[in-house]
Chains A and B, each alone.
Chain A
Amino acid sequence: MPAYLLRRAALAALFVLLVSSLALVLVSFAPGDYATDLVGGIGADPAQVAAARAREGLDRPLVEQYATWLGRVLRFDFGRSLLYRRPVAELVRQRAANTAILALAALALATALGVPLGVLSGSGGGGRSGRALIRGASVLFLSAPPLLMVLVLVFAAARTGWFPVGGMTTAGVDAGIAGAPDWTSWMRWTSDVAWHLPVPTLALALPMAAMIERLIAQSMAETIGAPFILSARARGVPRGRLVWRHALRVALRPVAAVYGLIIGTLLGGSFMVEIVTAWPGLGRLTYDALRGRDVFLVAGCAAAGALFLALGSLVSDAAQAWLEPGASEMTR
């Protein structure tokens, strides 16, 4: 097992490095760079542009720039953001935490909604009309990706005034937890974030809940007819236990296998939600970095995203190992 974990960790590190390198190189290919953006467009003084370029090391050949960057990254130094004039690692850590808050809230809600409903509709419970209702709702929500969902919810929030339409905190609340915050300012910050969470979380969670519901329902419907369920029923195992213990354990396997992909879907959806609701997360940062041609920041964001994905696939493997001991490489 330790050898397996080591290999997984090495693969994950390689994946993070590959993704951030590709992002860096691709964005460097774009015409124009940070210097031309900074000094100004048409009519900018070429000498000024050249000076700005030299200052940031953007005038050297791409291969050389990449080698320097790689050398520093291997020492966990992701360089400085050209746009924000701050270390990339610090910026990305902060924003990634904000995205994680949003993504975890959405994942928890989607799982809490999707799994029980999927079990219910897949195992033939809830009556004929109940199942049709669940299935219909799922198909509807599957057709409303986060982009549409967030626009509709922001519209509703703006109309009713029940929830804030954008941002993660009310102005001034963030300052309370800077420096050495006390308990009350932490509490104020937490409750303020919790008040800003519902709109982006719902936008992200509802389509995902529908996806999880469909996955579980299909997998449950296949499991419920399996011989081992029939034999358990013949032994007199009560129906509730049969569905929620015996069948669910098996039905969850294919879902656990795609959990890594679910994390990817979550990151992708979070991008749109962050843009529309001005949530200061990784998606917005990536977008700003791309638009500002801030190559080091783009690479840093890509690294953080890749790390999320790698963690997701690790969790997925762990879940599979737990659900199916013996079949997974992890328990060997």
Chain B
Amino acid sequence: MTRSEIAPASLAGVVILALVTVAALAAPALAPYEAGTRFADHVHAPPTWPHVRHEGTFRAPFIYPWRLVDRLEQRYEQDRTRPVPLAWFDEGRLVRSADDSASPFLLLGADRDGRDVLGRLLRGARTSLALAFAATLGALLIGAFVGSVAGIAGRAVDDVLMRVAEFVIVLPTVYVVLVLRGALPLVLPPGVVFGLMAGIFSLAGWPFVARGVRGIISSEGAREYAVAARSLGAGRARLVLRHLLPACTGFLAVQATLLVPAFIVAEATLSYVGLGFSDPVASWGAMLREAADVTFADFPWTLAPAGAIFVVVLAFNLLVQAQPLAARGPAR
């Protein structure tokens, strides 16, 4: 495995993540409609693809509107006689339909409430990614703290902390998260749910970090520079913060690339089973749950969040595959 063989994959990962992050940040401008906008005549409407050719002549990109054929079966027919032009940079949105109320521009179709799936996907990216980043930060902080304490404190403290860490590592993360979430009230405002989930994920994720940090701290602590710092009168806190933790940054970075995708999947899992975000909030897990509530076999576009999760997790995996094995720690 040479460096040159890996660089393209890891570069692809970085590019994908950058694109997703920009899309999430720019969601209000990119999404054609508000997350809650409902088109009553477009429940489960299929995607409206942009066309450029109408009756043999080329023209600016436009869409063919959907005409409701059967409301009960939610069947639609394309109205090929009436092209609706796209409106660019209209009211602060990148692109939308020129006839918004009757024939909306639904690039990824509509969901069971007639809401634009693309718009919810972009806003869901904000929720899901922000949660994963917050939880990762929490797990890294707790892990670095516990790991440092275990690394410099005496044998007894070290033993206790590492036994606890190993105990949590052995348990399946899904169940740890489920039981912790199950111990809290079910119905809560979205902001509180966000905080709770970030906290719960951090509690499930810290042990991997702590074990690695402890190893680095205790081996680095025996090296000359650490001994020198101590003999010059550096206290334990200064020794760890100033001298030993910087040695862990590489390890922590790798752990972050492992934790973020794990937490994205964890959010999807919790929301899917109804213990995370729910309806008005757009998150990838909540969207998957809504999709699965009905027979999604007829409406594959409602599974778009599954595709989004796959792409983001893949991007992180491309990054991780480029890392040396030793820095990755145990498999999960």
Contacts and interface: CB of A to CB of B under 8 A. Distances in A.
Is chain B a partner of chain A in the same complex?
A: yes
Contacts of A286: 175, 178
B303 A147 contact: no
B108 interface: no
Interface centre among A32, A148, A291, A305 (most CB of B within 10 A): A148
Contact of B179 (A27, A145, A267): A27
A61 to B, nearest CB: 18
A39 interface: no
A18 B167 CA distance: 10
Contacts of B332: 261, 265
B273 A26 contact: no
A276 B309 CA distance: 17
Contacts of B170: 260-261, 264, 309, 313
Interface size class of A (residues with CB under 8 A): 35 or more
B300 to A, nearest CB: 6
Nearest to B169: A261
Contact of A148 (B1, B9, B309, B325): B309
A140 B313 CA distance: 9
A292 B43 CA distance: 33
Interface residues of B, number: 42
Interface stretch (B88-96, B148-156, B180-188, B231-239): B180-188
A261 B171 contact: no
A298 B181 CA distance: 13
A28 B325 CA distance: 42
A312 to B, nearest CB: 9
B314 A271 contact: no
Contacts of A9: none
Contact of B318 (A30, A139, A261, A309): A139
Interface string A194-228: 00000000000000000100010010010000000
A298 B314 CA distance: 34
B182 A143 contact: no
A244 interface: no
B179 A261 contact: no
A309 B269 CA distance: 21
A290 B330 contact: no
A143 B310 contact: yes
A4 interface: no
B296 interface: yes
Given A258-B330, A290-B178, A29 B317 contact: no
Nearest to B313: A143
Contacts of A23: 179
B163 to A, nearest CB: 11
Interface in A261-291: 261-262, 264-265, 267-268, 271-272, 275-276, 286-287, 290-291
Given A27-B183, A272-B269, A286-B178, A267 B172 contact: yes
Given A139-B317, A147-B265, A268-B175, 7 more contacts: A23-B179, A26-B179, A30-B183, A144-B313, A148-B309, A158-B297, A271-B175
Closest 9 CB pairs of A and B: A268-B172, A158-B297, A143-B314, A290-B182, A268-B174, A143-B313, A26-B183, A264-B172, A267-B172
Interface of A: 18-19, 22-23, 26-27, 29-32, 139-140, 142-145, 147-148, 151-152, 155, 158-159, 211, 215, 218, 221, 258, 260-262, 264-265, 267-268, 271-272, 275-276, 286-287, 290-291, 298, 302, 305, 309, 313
